[in-house]
Amino acid sequence: MISLTQETTRILKNRIAVERQTQTSQRWHVRVPLNLWIGGLIVALVLLIAGLAPFIAPFAPDQVMAGARLAPPSFDYPFGTDSLGRDMLSRVLLGTRLAVWTMLLGVSIAALLGIVPGLIAGYVGGWGDQVLSRVMDMALAFPGLLLALIIVARFGPSLDHALIAMGVISAPSFYRLTRSQTISARKMLYVDAARAIGANTWRILFRHIAPNLASSLIVIATMRAGILLVASGGLSFVGLGAQPPSPEWGTLLAAGRNYLETAPWLAIFPGLCITLTVIGTNLLGDGLRDALDLKNNL
């Protein structure tokens, strides 16, 4: 009897491994569409600039050039200078680091607030699932930017508070995706086999189910990153996000709105950076979705 039980356990473990390996290989056996290449190149360029910004910026972001106030783009100042005589190229380059930080931290907060509750609600079900789902539905009922404005207005304007607000408004998207796919995954054979060999709930969730959701979560995280960047820039633009003299792109846009006729470069270059970065993240997310064949899940 003992040997039979051991043999059954061994067979179940093998079946779990085979099924998970098959699903993973199917998910990651991809073709590379054009939008994935273009989006990947744009995002890679943004990350490269963010990493090298302190070394390639020609001036310190707060360095004032006497006699060069509102200088137009030239060889010495490719992006011109602002109303205080600060080099716009240097400020835009350093702002890239803040943009990447905004996207990474905002997505991380959203993932933490959405994925873990989604796994638990989808697997356990019952009244806990209903309560969590109603809370997330209520959050979705509010316009995202309005909810972020309420949060930032309550705790005060700063980039940190803006990032927390961005994470909160994006959490329901992660929750709904994770919950729906967990409900489907809990009916799979490898989950039944894991229960049969005595795996506890946490091990099933984070060792067996969560890895199989990775591709879908990566796609939605990539697509939400651009949305978070725009929302964070919007908060900074109205004075509730990063504060001057921060070179955050939304703050640079806000500073340049009073000079659209006399010095349009103050708003053009930060606006172009936001636009290109959002296009890159959207193309990357769409490309990953197409490559991983996740159109029915996202």
- The distance of Cα 138 from the centroid of its chain, to the nearest Å, equals 22
Does 298 reside within a domain? no
Query: Distance between CA atoms of 211 and 217, rounded to whole angstroms?
Result: 10
Q: How many domains does the chain have?
A: 1
Q: Of 181, 161, 125, which Cα lies nearest the Cα of 242?
A: 161
Does 202 reside within a domain? yes
pLDDT surpasses 60 at 273: yes
Does 297 reside within a domain? no
Tens digit of pLDDT for each residue in 69-101? Answer: 999 999 999 999 999 999 999 999 999 999 999
Does 176 reside within a domain? yes
Whether the CB-CB separation of 114 and 171 falls below 8 Å is answered with yes
Does 120 reside within a domain? yes
pLDDT at residue 22 in the model? 52
Does 210 reside within a domain? yes
Whether the model clears a pTM of 0.85, i.e. scores above it, the answer is: no
Does 296 reside within a domain? no
pLDDT at residue 161 in the model? 86
Could you tell me the residue range of the domain that residue 32 belongs to? 2-291
Tens digit of pLDDT for each residue in 135-148? Answer: 888 888 877 778 78
C-alpha distances (whole Å) from 8 to each of 1, 3, 189, 197, 198 are: 11, 9, 15, 9, 13
CATH of the domain at 207: 1.10.3720.10
Structure tokens at 140: 């979705």
